[in-house]
Amino acid sequence: MHYVCTHCGKRTPTDTLTPHCECGGLFELDFEPPKWDESRIHKDTWNLFRYRDFLAVDDAVWPSVTMGEGMTPIIEYDESVYFKMDYAMPTLSFKDRGAATLVSHMKAIGVQKCVQDSSGNAGNSVAAYCARAGIECEIFVPEGTSPKKIDMIRAHGATATVVPGNRDHCADVCRAKVRDEGVYYANHVYNPYFYEGMKTYVYETLEQLGRIPRHIVVPVGNGTLFIGVVKALEHLQASGVITEFPTIIALQSQLCDPLYQAVLQKAPEPARITPEPTLAEGIAIGVPMRGRELLDMTYRHDIRFVTAPEDQILKVRADIARRGIYCEHTTAANYAAYLEYVRLYGPTPDALVTMCGAGIKSDH
């Protein structure tokens, strides 16, 4: 298996320990999944590796890494909205999808030590899966990260290093360590194996509903779910399973919206913004590293962007909780943004919204 550089096109074997191409460009996988065919789902595998025929994964390793991630329920929230309950995962967030495939790859190529930066959830997932795989890890989180996320990271035996400043600075500090010490970068944005797991969000939805909903609401910080969803839908479209691409409604925080601003201006690069503190810590990314890629996909598929009104996040979270569903602040922003979209553009039926983080994670 090879990576291809998104900048210069150079191929690099995927057992490399470097985080990006020599030229600095980010990698993508040179992997074309076979045509979608439901009979190729391994229905006796009760985790996301049931879709392994369509994922770049190493068959020998994933069984010792999986913790039963994926296979999350879809529930009808009201007549227009389905929630996909993606906090029903081993570490209580959707990032377990990507961590399961990334850490399986790391184990397959013999990584023994890694670092990662995160707003909390991705680091939490990587810490847990590394613990399972016997890989040492250090997670960098920005100051102000929900303490419960930090506690969970430490409980898995990882070092949690809290970096003063915002989320983007935290990433810079971690990347400096990767550069200076050559340690493996188990990062959800850089490493294409993470996206393999995120694709299963769509495959599962298709298997569960027997179709793809008309609207798919996706939060975008660095865009790992966004990229996974687009790649999987492109795969289904190329396989003739769907003829029409659903409308993807991508959301950002009102206080940190570089992609939303870029789309307003039809710009090819994320806008330069100054992130302001938001309750939606998980999407507080001022400089999304794959910004150009995300915008290419946006224009290719006419993806809509909307922002989550900051003053609605706590209210929406409380309203959802009163109906039995306790999600974290960033996740409440998903539904707040959906409601904002309805307010702006009218009824938006048959919408799938991700409940991607559990409420207890952001209680403090």
Residues that bind Zn ion (CB under 5 A): 5, 7-8, 10, 21, 23, 25
- Of 76-84, 165-173, 327-335, 343-351, the segment contacting ligand PLP by CB under 6 A is 327-335
Of these partners, Zn ion, ligand PLP, none, which one is at the site of residue 331 (CB under 5 to 8 Å by kind)?
ligand PLP
Q: How far apart are CA 293 and CA 307, in angstroms?
A: 20
Q: Which of 284, 262, 118 is nearest to 189 (CA)?
A: 118
Nearer residue to ligand PLP within complex by CB, 212 or 225: 225
Q: How many residues bind ligand PLP (CB under 6 A)?
A: 20
Using CB under 6 A as the binding rule, whether residue 123 contacts ligand PLP is answered as no
If you ran DSSP here, which 8-state letter would residue 61 be given?
A: T
Report residue 148 CA to chain centroid gap. 20
Of these partners, ligand PLP, Zn ion, none, which one is at the site of residue 125 (CB under 5 to 8 Å by kind)?
none
- Of 15-23, 28-36, 114-122, 343-351, the segment contacting ligand PLP by CB under 6 A is 114-122
Of these partners, ligand PLP, Zn ion, none, which one is at the site of residue 222 (CB under 5 to 8 Å by kind)?
ligand PLP
Using CB under 6 A as the binding rule, whether residue 192 contacts ligand PLP is answered as no
Nearer residue to ligand PLP within complex by CB, 41 or 160: 160
Report residue 287 CA to chain centroid gap. 16
Q: How far apart are CA 255 and CA 308, in angstroms?
A: 9
Residue 13: count other Cβ atoms within 10 Å of its Cβ: 9
CB of 289 to Zn ion, least distance (A): 14
Of these partners, ligand PLP, Zn ion, none, which one is at the site of residue 221 (CB under 5 to 8 Å by kind)?
ligand PLP
CB of 171 to ligand PLP, least distance (A): 11
- Of 104-112, 136-144, 217-225, 253-261, the segment contacting ligand PLP by CB under 6 A is 217-225
Q: How far apart are CA 283 and CA 220, in angstroms?
A: 6
Q: How far apart are CA 8 and CA 119, in angstroms?
A: 30
Q: How far apart are CA 301 and CA 290, in angstroms?
A: 17
CB of 358 to ligand PLP, least distance (A): 9
Of these partners, Zn ion, ligand PLP, none, which one is at the site of residue 122 (CB under 5 to 8 Å by kind)?
ligand PLP
**Nearest-5° Cα angle at 228, 260 to 306:** 20
Task: Name the strand (E) or helix (H) holding 136.
Answer: strand 136-142
Q: How far apart are CA 358 and CA 330, in angstroms?
A: 10
252-285 as b/e: b if 16+ CB within 10 A: bbbbbbbbbbbbeeeeeebbebebeebbbbbbbb
Number of residue whose CB is nearest ligand PLP: 282
Using CB under 6 A as the binding rule, whether residue 225 contacts ligand PLP is answered as yes
Using CB under 6 A as the binding rule, whether residue 161 contacts ligand PLP is answered as no
Residues at the site binding ligand PLP, with contacts judged by CB under 6 A? 93, 119, 121-122, 219-226, 282-283, 285, 328, 330-331, 356-357
